[in-house]
Amino acid sequence: MLLVVFLCMWPYAFSSSKYGPVVNLSQALRMSEHWIGGRHPFFDANPLMFWFLGQHSGILPPLMPPLIWLGLLFPWMINYPLRFPLINLINKKNLGLLGEIMIVSFTLYVIAHTILLKLFFPTRYTVHTLRIIMAIASGISVTNILYNFLSNYQNLRKIYLPILGIILTFILLFYPNFLNSYPKSDYRIGNHPVLYQFLQQQPENTLTATLSDEADNLPTFSKRATLIAREYALPFHLGYYSQIRQRAIDLIQAQYSQDLNLVKKIIQKYGIDFWLLESGTFKPEYLTNKKLAKQFSTSI
């Protein structure tokens, strides 16, 4: 299997991408896009944040629900099979598989940090595996705790079972509703249907220029292109990103220039059909409040 994977990947190791070379460590260090507040934050001067909680550098995945941390009790429970008899029912082979997954995950995490940006970003190798393993371990831990509790207090089972049922029902059904981000589907909602409908009525090669965050939604909801959009401005492939970056700089300079000739030049250069402005576009705080404008305004 490894040989097949190796042979499949071999051609890509020596081929060049049409999007240009991938950013390397020395280049990323000089790009504000890869620091806190940037488009894809990775570097952080705080070692605790960088190694443990960093969005793309830390070893701990974000958005871990509180109940899942009970999985940390699982390694301790394994050492006390007499106290937690349900542990003996676990298939040792499957238990070993969880350990192997953890070893592989942490090994790839370390390697990704060692040869930084050669294997993408390190968190990619722990963010999903830790969530899965912690969820499994948490389920086992909770089951053992409840089993021991009910076994030790059999005489009071008639009293505790209804209470326990009510508590579990509350936790499972009502607790998530108090969380603002649950369920976190991460869907994007288009809030300007009239604008989308208007652009849909234009020719298919229509190009819209805007510094509004709405630029992310226009290609999806109006099916028309935008000159730039933050969602499509990931600073990885430099051949591609350098063009996006130059477009953004040109757009910002033209939008806030009093030179009409510069505006006409940018329109002709990129073939812009519509220039979308928001209320408050020319207020001083606009460039610092809008994610897209903020990403590139520091480069001017």
pLDDT in tens, 212-249: 989 999 999 999 999 999 999 889 999 999 999 999 99
The answer to whether residues 216 and 278 belong to one domain is yes
Confidence of residue 165 (pLDDT cuts 50, 70, 90): confident
Question: Structural domain tally of the chain?
Answer: 2
Last residue of a domain, one of 178, 207, 229: 178
Q: 285 and 137 share a domain?
A: no
Q: Give the per-residue pLDDT at 147.
A: 83
> Which of the listed residues 134, 152, 178 is the one where a domain comes to its end?
178
Domain shared by 145 and 23, yes or no:
yes
Q: Is 60 left (phi over 0), alpha (psi -120 to 50) or beta?
A: beta
Residue 89 included in any domain: yes
Q: What span, in angstroms and rounded, lies between the C-alpha atoms of 235 and 151? A: 57
User: Can you tell me the distance from the alpha carbon of 295 to that of 300, in angstroms, rounded to the nearest whole number?
Assistant: 11
- The answer to whether position 165 is within a domain reads yes
Instruction: Give how far Cα 268 sits from Cα of 197, 243, 274, Å.
Output: 25, 16, 12
- When pLDDT is averaged across residues 102-116 and rounded to a whole number, the result is 92
Q: Which DSSP symbol is given to 88?
A: G
Domain end (from 178, 210, 241): 178
pLDDT of residue 13 exceeding 60: no
127 with 24, same domain?
A: yes
Assigned domain for 4 exists: no
Sign of the torsion angle spanned by Cα atoms 30, 32, 38, 43: positive
Instruction: Say whether pLDDT at 24 is over 70.
Output: yes
28 and 152 both lie in a single domain: yes
Specify if 187 maps to a domain: no
1 within some domain: no
The boundaries of the domain holding residue 139 are 18-178
Which pTM does this prediction carry? 0.76
Q: Choose among 274, 252, 263, 155: nearest CA to 207.
A: 274
The answer on 167 and 207 residing in a single domain is: no
Instruction: Tell me whether residue 184 is in a domain.
Output: no
Task: With respect to residue 185, please indicate whether it lies within any of the assigned structural domains.
Answer: no
Tokens of 211: 């510094």
So what's the pLDDT on residue 299? Answer: 60
* 130 and 261 inside one domain: no
CB-CB contact of 230 with 216 (8 Å): yes
Q: Is the domain of 151 the same as that of 69? A: yes
Residue 11 lies in a domain: no
For 172-204, the pLDDT digits (tens) are 777 767 766 666 667 778 889 999 999 999 999
